[in-house]
């Protein structure tokens, strides 16, 4: 068994956009009714970032994705040994076996942006489901995970302008309306269509492609894609 750094964990808030709602991936543990963020531990010999992206890939099947650390939660009382005991016993582990899991953990939180349709969520051995949940209708989460999700959303809002969230939450081609909807669900407010369009086009980051004929009785919108970035960093 891999040897992990004790007392250190990570949690990932993985955002997806299904066309109308912002969602995140949650695990449900066997026979416990407990929901949690996908997370994991850090092998002794592995970089933190690397562990996290490896872990997220294992859960989602996605390799290249936007993944950024945003905060480390380090209160003593964030641990809840009783939750962990329920999960372990419900899965047939004796509490002795997993005693190191009952201890205090500091958790480094990351958020990821991902194209909803690309994901093939894969539950691990302890959890019997991993599914999308709309950010507005989350079930009760274990430990301090609700707090972590809120902090992730705040960070995402703050980074919206600089990080061009749409780039990661949408498919390669998209309409202006879809992009606007992404902005709206993240910001939690309606935006003015003309102003939004002018602003985004003014950034000179989009490339206009062919039109998309939807079969609906109105003018067909253009599709856009993000221009390759001149150079990052």
> Which chain residues interact with DNA by CB under 7 A?
175-177, 192-195, 197-199, 201-202, 211, 213-222
Nearest distance from C-beta of residue 222 to DNA, angstroms: 3
The correct pick among 58, 82, 97, 104 for binding a second copy (CB under 8 A) is: 104
Tokens of 129: 């489901």
Q: Which of 46, 118, 128, 184 binds a second copy (CB under 8 A)?
A: 46
Q: Is 233 exposed, middle or buried (0-12, 13-18, 19+ CB in 10 A)?
A: exposed
C-beta separation of 60 from 25 below 8 A: yes
Identify what 157 binds: a second copy, DNA, none; CB under 5 to 8 Å per kind. Answer: none
Any bridge partners for residue 59, and if so which?
none
Q: How many alpha carbons lie under 13 Å from residue 110 in its C-beta half-sphere? A: 25
What is the number of residues in the chain?
233
| C-alpha–C-alpha distance, residues 35 and 83, integer Å | 10
Tell me the C-alpha distance between 31 and 12, whole Å: 23
CA angle 193, 197, 203 (to 5 degrees): 150
Residue 42 within binding range of a second copy, rule CB under 8 A: yes
> Cβ of residue 78: shortest distance to a second copy, in angstroms?
9
- Residue 108 interacting partner from DNA, a second copy, none (CB closer than 5 to 8 Å by kind): a second copy
Partner whose footprint covers residue 216, from a second copy, DNA, none (CB < 5 to 8 Å by kind): DNA
Residue 190 interacting partner from a second copy, DNA, none (CB closer than 5 to 8 Å by kind):
none
Residues making contact with a second copy (CB under 8 A): 5-8, 42, 44-49, 69, 71-77, 104, 106, 108
């Amino acid at each position: 068994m891999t040897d992990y750094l004790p007392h250190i964990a990570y949690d990932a808030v993985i955002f997806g956009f299904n066309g109308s709602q912002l969602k995140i991936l949650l695990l449900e543990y066997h026979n416990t009714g407990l929901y949690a963020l996908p997370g994991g531990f850090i092998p002794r010999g592995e970089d933190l970032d690397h562990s996290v992206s490896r872990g997220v890939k294992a859960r989602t099947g996605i390799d290249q994705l936007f993944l950024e650390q945003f905060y480390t939660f380090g209160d003593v009382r964030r641990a809840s040994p009783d939750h962990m005991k329920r999960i372990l016993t419900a899965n047939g582990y004796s509490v002795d076996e997993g005693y190191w899991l009952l201890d205090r953990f500091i958790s480094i939180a990351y958020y990821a942006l991902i194209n909803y349709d690309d994901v093939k969520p894969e539950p691990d051995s302890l959890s019997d489901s991993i599914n999308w949940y709309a950010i507005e209708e989350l079930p009760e989460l274990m430990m301090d995970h609700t707090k972590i999700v809120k902090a992730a959303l705040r960070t995402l809002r703050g980074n919206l302008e600089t990080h061009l969230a749409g780039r990661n939450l949408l498919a390669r081609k998209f309409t202006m309306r879809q992009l606007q909807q992404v902005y709206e669900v993240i910001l939690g407010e309606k935006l003015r269509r003309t102003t939004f369009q002018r602003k985004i086009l003014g950034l000179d980051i989009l490339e206009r492609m062919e039109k998309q004929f939807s079969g609906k009785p109105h003018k067909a919108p253009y599709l856009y894609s993000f221009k390759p970035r001149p150079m990052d960093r």
